[in-house]
């Protein structure tokens, strides 16, 4: 389920960098269409959110920032910061080695950037805090720590197949971070999508929608899967998900259709059938109502089988620490 959500929202390949910075240094990242993750491998640094108090980060700390607001990283809150500017030849390489020269103590960071298409943003992301911080604690988040170690090794010594491995590892890193956050919410009194992901009954219905969007689901059928009455299920789903069950079904169908259009060249009739529409006309009408353009036009403006991506003027704003600092 969680991987479905991220796959549907993705816009472009994730990136990663291993950064070695010597004080004094500081980089400011403006808000954009990306989300960033930083792991402190050596030394320490400060995270300075656009709205909030600076936070000291130490070895093993993991921070995830959905990208709604800007932030800065620096060796000290008083250090001067430079605006992030990617090099024009960075291209789509999924990995980089970055060095920021100075005369002071060294900090080594593992950084990853994810790009989300805001046309398809899942409401789960809207509920995330501006900063998810997972402090280093022995025995906690072992899968996350193992992924960090593997990422660090691949970035430090790239080998045959590193590019493909990195893409999967960066995805794993994000999934483990979100899973850790959901687990923490479960220990409190979760609301919204955090409550849904920690509710086996609601997840049964949601999983059915995600697995079979082509089915003509009724609220009664979904309620039965959740083991609830129709009225109780409909009310709880709308309260937690922010929209009624069948409205979410339509949204997920369109999100799935957008992904199919973006990633392949399947005929529109086939995509219509896979998303529960009996005709291309009905599908095209629903798609245009959701995205403001016909399916064919949308496909021409998104990545196709040739791997070309639509223009993203602010894409670099989320690419974490800048190669131009080398």
User: Domain boundary residue among 131, 154, 188?
Assistant: 188
Considering the domain architecture, whether residues 116 and 19 belong to the same structural domain is answered as: yes
What is the average pLDDT value for the chain, to the nearest integer?
A: 84
Worst-scoring range by mean pLDDT, 67-71, 158-162, 311-315?
A: 311-315
β strands within 66-161, DSSP E: 71-74, 82-83, 95-100, 106-115, 132-134
More confident residue, 106 or 126: 106
Query: What confidence score (pLDDT) does residue 203 get?
Result: 95
Query: What confidence score (pLDDT) does residue 309 get?
Result: 45
Closest of 29, 26, 37, 19 to residue 74, by C-alpha: 26
Task: Over range 90-98, report the average pLDDT.
Answer: 59
Considering the domain architecture, whether residues 90 and 235 belong to the same structural domain is answered as: no
Considering the domain architecture, whether residues 149 and 218 belong to the same structural domain is answered as: no
Q: Is residue 321 part of a domain?
A: no
More confident residue, 304 or 128: 128
Considering the domain architecture, whether residues 35 and 147 belong to the same structural domain is answered as: yes
Considering the domain architecture, whether residues 70 and 179 belong to the same structural domain is answered as: yes
Tally of CA atoms within 13 A in the half-sphere of 289 that contains its CB: 10
Q: Is residue 322 part of a domain?
A: no
Considering the domain architecture, whether residues 148 and 246 belong to the same structural domain is answered as: no
The alpha carbon of 189 is separated from its chain's Cα centroid by a whole number of angstroms, namely 24
Q: Is residue 305 part of a domain?
A: no
Please count the structural domains in the chain: 2
Residue 286 has pLDDT above 90, yes or no: yes
Considering the domain architecture, whether residues 33 and 101 belong to the same structural domain is answered as: yes
The alpha carbon of 94 is separated from its chain's Cα centroid by a whole number of angstroms, namely 15
Query: What confidence score (pLDDT) does residue 324 get?
Result: 32
User: Domain boundary residue among 135, 155, 188?
Assistant: 188
Closest of 64, 83, 67 to residue 32, by C-alpha: 67
Considering the domain architecture, whether residues 36 and 124 belong to the same structural domain is answered as: yes
Q: Is residue 169 part of a domain?
A: yes
How many whole angstroms separate alpha carbon 234 and alpha carbon 242? 11
Residue 319 has pLDDT above 60, yes or no: no
More confident residue, 87 or 126: 126
Which residues, 6 or more positions from 7, have their beta carbon under 8 angstroms from its beta carbon? 259
Considering the domain architecture, whether residues 106 and 218 belong to the same structural domain is answered as: no
Could you report the per-residue pLDDT of 233-260, keeping only the tens digit for each? Answer: 999 999 999 999 999 999 999 999 998 9
Closest of 149, 159, 239 to residue 192, by C-alpha: 239
Query: What confidence score (pLDDT) does residue 308 get?
Result: 46
Burial classification of residue 188, based on how many CB atoms lie within 10 Å of its CB (0-12 exposed, 13-18 middle, 19 or more buried): exposed
pLDDT tier for residue 79 given thresholds of 50, 70 and 90: very high
Q: Is residue 45 part of a domain?
A: yes
Q: What is the pTM of this model?
A: 0.80
CB 9 within 8 A of CB 122: yes
Considering the domain architecture, whether residues 238 and 156 belong to the same structural domain is answered as: no
On the question of a cis peptide bond just before residue 24, with omega within 30 degrees of 0, the verdict is yes
Could you report the per-residue pLDDT of 195-238, keeping only the tens digit for each? Answer: 999 899 999 999 999 999 999 999 999 999 999 999 999 999 99
Considering the domain architecture, whether residues 53 and 161 belong to the same structural domain is answered as: yes
Q: What is the CATH number of the domain that holds 245?
A: 1.10.10.60
Q: Which domain holds residue 56?
A: 2-188
Considering the domain architecture, whether residues 111 and 153 belong to the same structural domain is answered as: yes
Residue 143 has pLDDT above 70, yes or no: yes
Query: What confidence score (pLDDT) does residue 167 get?
Result: 84
More confident residue, 8 or 257: 257
Q: What is the CATH number of the domain that holds 41?
A: 2.60.120.280
CB 177 within 8 A of CB 222: no
Alpha carbon dihedral 158, 162, 167, 173, in 10-degree steps, equals -60
Q: Is residue 324 part of a domain?
A: no
């Amino acid at each position: 389920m969680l991987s479905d959500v991220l796959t549907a929202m993705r816009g472009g390949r994730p990136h990663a960098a291993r950064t070695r910075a010597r004080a004094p240094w500081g980089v400011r990242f403006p808000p954009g269409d990306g989300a960033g993750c930083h792991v402190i491998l050596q030394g320490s640094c400060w995270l300075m959110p656009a709205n909030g108090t600076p936070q000291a980060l130490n070895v093993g700390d993991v921070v995830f920032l959905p990208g709604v607001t800007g932030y800065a990283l620096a060796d000290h809150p008083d250090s001067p910061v430079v605006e992030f500017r990617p090099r024009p030849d960075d291209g789509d390489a999924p990995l980089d080695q970055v060095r920021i020269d100075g005369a002071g103590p060294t900090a080594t960071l593992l950084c990853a950037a994810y790009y989300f298409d805001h046309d398809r943003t899942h409401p789960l992301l809207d509920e995330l805090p501006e900063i998810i911080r997972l402090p280093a604690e022995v025995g906690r988040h072992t899968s996350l720590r193992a992924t960090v170690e593997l990422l660090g090794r691949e970035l430090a010594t790239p080998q045959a197949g590193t590019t493909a491995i990195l893409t999967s590892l960066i995805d794993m890193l994000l999934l483990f971070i979100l899973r850790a956050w959901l687990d923490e919410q479960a220990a409190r009194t979760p609301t919204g999508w955090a409550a849904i992901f920690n509710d086996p009954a609601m997840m049964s219905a949601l999983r059915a929608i995600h697995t079979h969007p082509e089915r003509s689901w009724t609220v009664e059928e979904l309620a039965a899967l959740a083991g609830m009455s129709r009225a109780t299920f409909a009310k709880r789903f709308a309260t937690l998900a922010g929209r009624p069950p069948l409205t979410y079904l339509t949204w997920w169908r369109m999100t799935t259709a957008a992904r199919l259009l973006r990633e392949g060249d399947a005929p529109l009739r086939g995509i219509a059938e896979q998303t529960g529409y009996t005709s291309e006309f009905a599908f095209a009408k629903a798609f245009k109502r959701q995205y403001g353009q016909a399916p064919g036009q949308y496909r021409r403006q998104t990545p196709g089988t040739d791997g070309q991506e639509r223009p993203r003027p602010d894409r670099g704003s989320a690419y974490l620490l800048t190669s131009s600092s080398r």
